[in-house]
Amino acid sequence: MTATDTPVSALQAPGPKGRIVLSIDAMGGDRGPATVVAGMARSARKNTDIEFILHGPRAELEKLVAKRRHLTDRVEIRDASDVVTMDDKPSQVVRHGKQTSMWSALDAVRAGDASVCVSCGNTGALMALSMMRLRKLPGVNRPAIAVLWPSRNPQGFNVMLDVGADIRADENDLLQYALMGSSYARNGLHLERPRVGLLNVGTEEHKGRSELKAAHELIQTASVAANFEFVGFVEGGDIPGNRCDVIVTDGFTGNVALKTGEGTASLIGDLLKEAFKFSPLSRIAALLALTSMRRLKKRIDPRRVNGGVFLGLNGPVVKSHGSADATGVSAAIKLAYQLALSGFQDKIAARVASAVSLAQDAAQRETGTE
């Protein structure tokens, strides 16, 4: 594939010779830049068309990259002396963060040098900086963070958004989330016609907050043109279920649900370990069950689905877990790679733009009939 095969915007342009260029923030993760470079090395081995722009203190990064022979000619290092820490306040980073690796990583996407930005850093700061450096897509009021969630679906995952970009969302925001989430499911999970559900406390249409009732109508109307199936209201139990592929909710509820699900899974995992330590017989059982357990762990391993995606900006940003190890970083890079390869940014921009123009048409028609 060459760059001329697909119509792509400047932001989406693959690098020279049809290569995909990703912008990687080396700093800010709990395990430091060595882990990030190790994750890059894994991804580079699997996908030979990836190139990286790596941001952080040059001397340190040069040493780390030099250790991986197959990386050296595929990484451009951009020097950034400062690091955004987990304790930094977003507002301060936006004001004084120009020298940080995070800022530099976003600016590479802004300049069109890379397609997608990946960072393990402070979520709040990354979102604030992303909004400032990449700007919101025309028609998007609140960007959202989307995650993949282990579920009973054939594809093994649901998309849920927003999980914490903002703490509130009105009916129009929820409509945008439905459009962006279904675009993501189409490009990230390869679902042609994703099923979209709106999170509520009951499935009856009369239930829930007023913005949810309004959003129900808006999303229903948009589903035909946007080519997704709207299944209506869904409940918390459907998040790991098989009723839909995309769960739409505000960032407060989504964040609580995400962390509740993670916490529950982690509690059960620990109780399982305890149960197997109980008696000599159960220890033997644990040994025999090891492969079964590994299979299960792999299925729901959060590292395999590592990466929240910031949607609604001029350029996608993949947020990896702060505690990600090399496997986790590699999973986040793989996700960024897939999004770049599918021309996701152009598709989502087109989808949001068409919804905006549809809404404008509708408004004009209403004015015309008055």
Based on the shown chain and the rule CB under 8 A, indicate whether residue 271 belongs to the binding site for a second copy: yes
* Contacts to a second copy from residues 40-99, by CB under 8 A: none
Measured from the CB atom, the residue of 3 and 289 that comes closer to a second copy is 289
Question: CB 363 → a second copy: shortest distance, Å?
Answer: 30
Measured from the CB atom, the residue of 81 and 264 that comes closer to a second copy is 264
Site track for a second copy across 182-211, x = CB under 8 A = -----------------x-x------xx--
Stretch that binds a second copy, among 56-64, 134-142, 278-286, 357-365 (CB under 8 A): 278-286
Question: CB 86 → a second copy: shortest distance, Å?
Answer: 12
> Tokens 């679906």 belong to which residue?
153
Which residue among 6, 9, 221, 282 contacts a second copy (CB under 8 A)? 282
Stretch that binds a second copy, among 160-168, 171-179, 323-331, 333-341 (CB under 8 A): 160-168
Binding-site ranges for a second copy (CB under 8 A)? 150-152, 164, 167-168, 199, 201, 208-209, 235-241, 249, 251-253, 255-268, 270-272, 274-276, 278-279, 281-282, 284-286, 288-289, 291-293, 295-296, 299-300
